[in-house]
Amino acid sequence: MSSPESAFSSLFKEIDGLKEHFITRLSKAVSIPSVSSDLTLRPKVVEMAHFLKSELTALGAAVELRELGPQPDAPDTQLPPIVLARYGVDTSKRTILVYGHYDVQPALIEDGWATEPFELVQKDDKMYGRGSTDDKGPVMGWINSIEAHQKAGIEFPVNLIMCFEGMEEYGSEGLDDLIFAEKDKFFKDADAVCISDNYWLGTTKPVLTYGLRGCSYYSVTVEGPAADLHSGVFGGMVSEPMIDLVHILSGLVSPDGKILVPGLMDLVAPVTEEESKTYDTIEYEMNDLYAATGAKTNLHDDVKRTLMARWRYPTLSLHGVEGAFSAPGAKTVIPAKVTGKFSIRTVPDMQPHDVDELVFAHVNDLFTKLGSKNKMEIKLLHDGKWWLSSPSHWNFEAAKKATKTVWGVDPDLTREGGSIPVTLSFEQATGKNVLLLPVGRGDDGAHSINEKLDISNYIEGVKTLSAYLHYVAVEKME
Ligand code: BES
Ligand code: ZN
């Protein structure tokens, strides 16, 4: 095969020429509200899987939709299928396995969106819409790359195995089992893995990512009276579930972010000197945090500690309370049953099982100390494992060259605070290196209102993913 660079000029020209077509493809994807956590929208998640299948089939890929059976916590609902696709079966080429997710976070215009969330709206060279950056843009990126090669008449440099799931935002229910079941079948000849499902750290410098935090997610339910009560009639006469719950939740974390679960921090691997130095050269400023959050509510004043809080230490967040009165106005109700939700982002060397034990013991202890006659139940909803790799592998070297080619700079090597539960599973099942190669920017607002993807990140992203495939096809294995 000829050198990677010889393909780039006509390939990149083709990608530029297909810009509007690629934007239309992303518009179609964003217009399908494939929200995995909303059971009423499950048909839309399934529709999204079929959309991917038809786009890929039209380009000549072999596509299967793998059913995963019923959803464990909602047995009347089927999990959305995993889209497994393969493009190319040339044994003389390397085989690259790519992963992405086609489900999205919920979004309602009344949450504060400036535009309809499930419509891709262009403004100032950005495309707004739920899933634009997380993760429909990058998933379309792989499909666009195949199409651009075909239209430019350039041979695709690798065999591409694609695995796209529809439950990532809900903890990747069912995918782990499939990955291990297929390790010697569908994923057998993968030489390396690439996941495009994270973001640059800031807004100008590309990154490659070699670490993610895990996520252990819990619910704590307190219930007492058989039905909601009038606070004027029963207040002061009965134990209120909401009061108990607020006490429990406030015993989990302090306002300055300190986790109050005894023994939890003992599970964290100490920071080595060598590791500490890696933070000194990362391009990040406190202003990046202010811009991304739209506020100056930082817990730490220096950049290094701030980044470490995101990548290197566990954090505990409180997410919401089901069953609590939350409508506008002043309703004098005592809710009969409330469920608080919280999660812990985990880091090396925290083992999910040890974390669960400490959390359960602490919550039980907090509740016992209240001396309440209500009933309390703590549950683990899902746990995703953290992942930490080494960025010196040839898989990363290929991505560094691709980034330099397209963006003209060497990428920063970063870890991330978010979680992609199956990353470690892919690494363990295939025994191959996993690389995280992001398309979007740090201010894209994934999971937030007004999520966007810059048009330049989308189009240059297709070039970056394509260039990566060309380099990884020929990169020397070390
Ligand atoms: N794309 C994110 C993962 C991510 C977030 C990577 C931030 C880097 C930075 C992914 O879609 C996601 O949000 N995952 C969930 C997983 C959870 C449900 C286990 C997350 O991190 O909350
Ligand atoms: Zn994502």
- Per residue in 55-107, pLDDT (tens digit) is 999 999 999 999 999 999 999 999 999 999 999 999 999 999 999 999 999 99
- Pull the structure tokens for residue 313: 């230490």
What does the pLDDT read at residue 2? 72
Could you say which ligand is closest to the alpha carbon of residue 136?
Answer: 2
**Choosing from 14, 147, 168, 288, which is the catalytic residue?**
168
303 band by pLDDT with thresholds 50, 70 and 90: very high
C-alpha distance from residue 302 to each of 201, 269, 280, 289, 291 (Å): 16, 22, 11, 11, 16
Residue 478: is its pLDDT beyond 80?
no
Q: Which CATH architecture has domain 5-212+386-474?
A: 3-Layer(aba) Sandwich (3.40)
Cβ of 451 less than 6 Å from ligand 1: no
- Indicate the top mutation candidate among 102, 105, 169, 385 to test ligand 1's pocket, ranked by most ligand atoms within 8 A of CB: 169
The stretch 429-446 carries a mean pLDDT of 97
pLDDT in tens, 153-196: 999 999 999 999 999 999 998 999 999 999 999 999 999 999 99
- CA angle, 53 then 429 then 103, to 5°: 35
Closest residue CA from atom 16 of ligand 1:
419
What does the pLDDT read at residue 52? 99
Distance 290 CA to ligand 2 centre (A): 22
- CA angle, 302 then 350 then 99, to 5°: 85
Residue 246: is its pLDDT beyond 70?
yes
Cβ of 444 less than 6 Å from ligand 1: no
Active site residue 103: yes
CA distance 30 to 246: 37
Q: Which residue has the higher pLDDT, 292 or 237?
A: 237
Query: H/E element holding 251?
Result: none
The stretch 45-58 carries a mean pLDDT of 98
19 band by pLDDT with thresholds 50, 70 and 90: very high
Cβ of 421 less than 6 Å from ligand 1: yes
What does the pLDDT read at residue 304? 96
Q: Which pTM was predicted?
A: 0.94
What does the pLDDT read at residue 477? 86
- Helix axes 4-17 and 137-152, enclosed angle (nearest 10): 110
Q: Which residue has the higher pLDDT, 247 or 390?
A: 247
C-alpha distance from residue 90 to each of 153, 240, 250, 401, 468 (Å): 17, 66, 58, 24, 18
CA distance 55 to 78: 23
Residue 1: is its pLDDT beyond 60?
no
- CA angle, 387 then 389 then 391, to 5°: 140
Distance 135 CA to ligand 1 centre (A): 10
Given the candidates 3.30.70.360, 1.10.10.10, 3.40.190.10, 1.10.3480.10, the CATH classification of the domain at 214-268+313-384 is 3.30.70.360
Integer-rounded Cα radius of gyration of the chain: 23
CA distance 251 to 355: 16
CATH 3.30.70.360 location in the chain = 214-268+313-384
Q: Which amino acid appears at position 50 of this protein?
A: H
What does the pLDDT read at residue 9? 97
Per cent of the chain over pLDDT 90 is: 97
Cβ of 352 less than 6 Å from ligand 1: no
Per cent of the chain over pLDDT 70 is: 100
Average pLDDT value over all residues in the chain: 97
Q: Which residues contact 65 (CB under 8 A, 6 or more apart)?
A: 49, 50, 53, 81, 82, 83, 84
Task: Give the position, in ligand 1's atom list, of the atom nearest the Cα of 215.
Answer: 19
**316 — phi, psi (to 5°)?**
-120, 125
Question: What are the DSSP calls for 197-243, one per residue?
Answer: --B-SSSS--EEEEEE-EEEEEEEEEE-SSS-EEHHHHTTTS--HHH
Active site residue 365: no
Distance 95 CA to ligand 2 centre (A): 23
What does the pLDDT read at residue 97? 98
Question: What are the DSSP calls for 1-18, one per residue?
Answer: ---HHHHHHHHHHHHHHT
User: How far from the centroid of its chain's Cα atoms is residue 424's Cα?
Assistant: 13
CATH 3.40.630.10 location in the chain = 5-212+386-474
The stretch 264-286 carries a mean pLDDT of 95
- E runs forming strands in 79-177: 82-87, 95-101, 121-123, 126-128, 159-165
Reported as half-sphere exposure (CB side, CA atoms, 13 A), residue 231 has a value of 11
